[in-house]
């Protein structure tokens, strides 16, 4: 693409506002900035779009949103009149321009003859997945950038099962977008006109209640919270986002009496004024919640990200310090609790199954199997987890009771097909209350699992490579590791090399090649002689390569030494 020509096209367009035009005019003498904004469109993948908000083809703005929606609308229309009637559910989180982008998407769908159900205001991502299934919609659109910094926004697309779009439909949209001019190829129906015409219906409290009914039905041990409600306390923060209403409501309905919501972060604000990053994976964001917990003698802290699909916890240790529990650790303890509680209450189904991604701790497999449950791996992303759940349950092979990934995402129940921090917050609280009654914290419960199953350790390293040069550097590193895989890492032999792109498995000692079940993703895996796995993959939403260390030690000291040792090797990849 000729970026200067594309830049000029935008400058010459008569649809831009004076302010938008001025923003582009301001960069006319900066060829590098022009190139970064116009060298190509944001890539439309199975996760939709995500980027920083600015004018330009490679950023999130009204024109990019309308263009993407026109492509999606064409794909929906190709399914026939019934699909148009079933329509699209649309949601948004707390991000700047969220409602503006959501309404713009609704207007394009309405102009294409597609019925729209749009939320009256911001809602958790899992509620959008629920709404698609609950109302029998053909598709869904969610304007969100999840836990990214404030400069970002995004556009996620869902299909009729409530999961993010399958690859064939994402490819179909990408092909449509190549044919559609971003300015002249998009049709839009004014919002108020579309409402009057019955093309747009607004969703509100009635959908919340239907969703909450399903969430509350996920309680396993109905006495766990009421039994300690007079003394058990917790702190909750939504990090200025969508969990602000439904998470506290679910906890109160479960019987929580002492719920302390961090007041500054309960304020909805897409600028995220109290944190550098509104991500529960970053412990520094919890500082206000920790202060509130200390002042009120609280053991347990919950935090959900801006679109309330991820949840993180902090737990007070015996020294009175608040410790972050990673997504891997939290998921393992929750899996163990849920299977145990289901067993105790007679709710454990036949052929129970746990699902996790390939980069999630192997400790989950050990826990699942200790209860007679199977554990399957999928690629990273809940669309793959949803696909596996649908396949297993559709064939009668097993009943999925728990699904998670290491980056703080949990999918529970049958009413959503995406990460769900609302339901996860409820069950994590039930679990914390259960252990509180035993004089234990969730941290104590995790330690007990280490004593039982082994000392597993995990660490994710992010090799950030921004800009155009970064894209080339990422491709170069993946090519180098694929074509010349290391024979040893940190002095330990690589015994097996797996390439998830073609599904190949190479025995490094003999050179023998075989294949594995999973293929079709740009991911490399190195299995080491000491049982450690090192996995390398480019992020699908951010300019970085993620390197995952999954290891195990005879004790905590050996585990930590392994994590450190292999982390030093990862550092060499940056050079």
Instruction: Determine the Cα angle at 430 with ends 445 and 382, to 5°.
Output: 85
CA distance 279 to 283: 8
CA distance 428 to 566: 31
- Whether residue 545 contacts residue 482, with contact meaning beta carbons closer than 8 Å, is answered with no
- Please say whether the dihedral angle defined by the alpha carbons of residues 446, 450, 453 and 458, taken in this order, is positive or negative: positive
Nearest-10 crossing angle of helices 62-77, 98-111: 40
Q: How many Cβ atoms from other residues are within 10 Å of residue 516's Cβ? A: 14
Helix runs in 397-498, H state only: 421-437, 442-453, 467-483
Helix and strand tally (H, E) in the chain? Answer: 19, 23
**Maximum Cα interatomic distance, the chain, rounded to a whole number of Å:** 70
Helix runs in 352-420, H state only: 363-370, 382-395
Residues ≥6 apart with Cβ < 8 Å to 434:
221, 224, 337, 341
Residues ≥6 apart with Cβ < 8 Å to 370:
452, 453
Residues ≥6 apart with Cβ < 8 Å to 240:
94, 265, 266, 267, 268, 269, 270, 272, 273, 274, 275, 278, 306
- Whether residue 555 contacts residue 540, with contact meaning beta carbons closer than 8 Å, is answered with no
- 63, two tokens: 């024109």
- 523, two tokens: 């991911």
CA distance 556 to 338: 25
- Whether residue 46 contacts residue 97, with contact meaning beta carbons closer than 8 Å, is answered with no
Which residue, among 147, 181, 138, 132, has the nearest Cα to 50 in the 3D structure?
147
- Whether residue 468 contacts residue 259, with contact meaning beta carbons closer than 8 Å, is answered with no
CA distance 322 to 293: 9
CA distance 198 to 192: 10
Catalytic status, residue 231: no
CA distance 293 to 204: 33
Query: What is the chain's alpha carbon radius of gyration, rounded to the nearest angstrom?
Result: 24
222-241 b/e (C-beta count within 10 Å ≥ 16 → b)? eebbeebeeebbbbbbbbbb
- Whether residue 322 contacts residue 293, with contact meaning beta carbons closer than 8 Å, is answered with yes
**Selected catalytic residue, list 13, 36, 129, 146:** 146
What does the DSSP 8-state code read for residue 310? B
- Whether residue 401 contacts residue 349, with contact meaning beta carbons closer than 8 Å, is answered with yes
Q: Is residue 514 classed exposed, middle or buried when 0-12, 13-18 and 19+ CB atoms within 10 A define those classes? A: exposed
- Whether residue 525 contacts residue 534, with contact meaning beta carbons closer than 8 Å, is answered with yes
- Please say whether the dihedral angle defined by the alpha carbons of residues 113, 114, 119 and 121, taken in this order, is positive or negative: negative
Instruction: Give catalytic residues, as residue numbers.
Output: 146
């Amino acid at each position: 693409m000729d970026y200067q020509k594309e830049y000029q096209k935008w400058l010459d367009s008569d649809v831009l506002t004076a302010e938008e035009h001025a923003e582009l005019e301001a960069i006319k003498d900066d060829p590098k900035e022009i190139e970064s904004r116009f060298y190509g469109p944001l890539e439309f993948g199975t996760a939709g779009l995500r980027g920083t908000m600015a004018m330009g083809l490679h950023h999130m703005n009204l024109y990019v949103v309308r263009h993407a929606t026109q492509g999606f609308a064409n794909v929906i229309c190709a399914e026939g009149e019934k699909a148009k009637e079933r329509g699209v559910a649309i949601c948004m989180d707390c991000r700047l321009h969220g409602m503006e982008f959501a309404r713009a998407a609704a207007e394009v769908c309405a102009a294409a003859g597609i019925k729209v159900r749009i939320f009256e205001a911001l809602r958790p991502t899992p509620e959008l997945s629920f709404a698609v299934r609950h109302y029998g919609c053909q598709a869904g659109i969610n304007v969100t950038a999840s836990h990214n910094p404030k400069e970002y926004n995004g556009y996620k697309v869902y299909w009729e099962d409530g999961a993010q779009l399958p690859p064939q439909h994402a490819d179909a949209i990408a092909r449509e977008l190549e044919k559609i001019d971003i300015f002249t190829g998009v049709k839009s129906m004014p919002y108020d006109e579309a409402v009057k015409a019955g093309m747009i219906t607004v969703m509100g409290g009635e959908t919340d209640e239907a969703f909450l009914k399903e969430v509350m039905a996920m309680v396993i041990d109905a006495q766990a919270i009421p039994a300690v409600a007079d003394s058990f306390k917790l702190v909750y923060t939504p990090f200025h986002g969508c969990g602000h209403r439904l998470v506290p409501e679910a906890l109160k309905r479960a019987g929580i009496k002492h719920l302390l919501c961090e007041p500054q972060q309960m304020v909805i604000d897409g600028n995220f004024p109290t944190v550098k990053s509104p991500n529960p994976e970053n412990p520094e964001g919890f500082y206000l919640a920790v202060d509130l917990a200390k002042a009120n003698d609280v053991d347990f802290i919950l935090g959900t990200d801006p679109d309330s699909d991820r949840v993180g916890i902090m737990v007070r240790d015996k020294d009175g310090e608040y410790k972050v529990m990673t997504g891997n650790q939290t998921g393992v303890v929750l899996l163990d609790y849920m299977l145990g509680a289901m067993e105790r209450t007679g709710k454990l189904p036949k052929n129970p199954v746990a699902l996790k991604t390939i980069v999630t701790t192997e400790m989950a497999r050990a826990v699942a199997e200790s209860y007679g449950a199977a554990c399957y791996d999928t690629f990273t992303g809940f669309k793959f987890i949803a696909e596996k759940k649908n396949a297993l349950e559709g064939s009668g092979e097993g009943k999925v009771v728990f699904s998670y990934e290491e980056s703080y995402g949990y999918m529970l129940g049958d009413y959503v097909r995406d990460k769900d921090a609302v339901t996860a917050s409820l069950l994590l609280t039930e679990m914390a209350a259960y252990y509180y009654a035993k004089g234990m914290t969730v941290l104590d419960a995790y330690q007990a699992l280490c004593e039982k199953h082994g000392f597993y350790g995990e660490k994710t390293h992010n090799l950030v490579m921004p800009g155009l040069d970064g894209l080339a550097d990422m491709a170069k590193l993946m090519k180098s590791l694929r074509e010349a895989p290391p024979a040893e890492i940190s002095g330990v032999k690589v015994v097996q090399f797996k390439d998830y792109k073609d599904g190949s498995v190479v025995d490094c000692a003999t050179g023998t090649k075989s294949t594995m079940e999973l293929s079709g993703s740009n991911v490399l895996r190195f299995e080491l002689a000491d049982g450690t796995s090192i996995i390398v993959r480019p992020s699908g939403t951010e300019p970085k390569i993620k390197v995952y260390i999954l290891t195990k030690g005879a004790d905590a000291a050996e585990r930590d030494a392994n994590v450190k040792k292999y982390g030093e090797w990862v550092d060499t990849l940056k050079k």
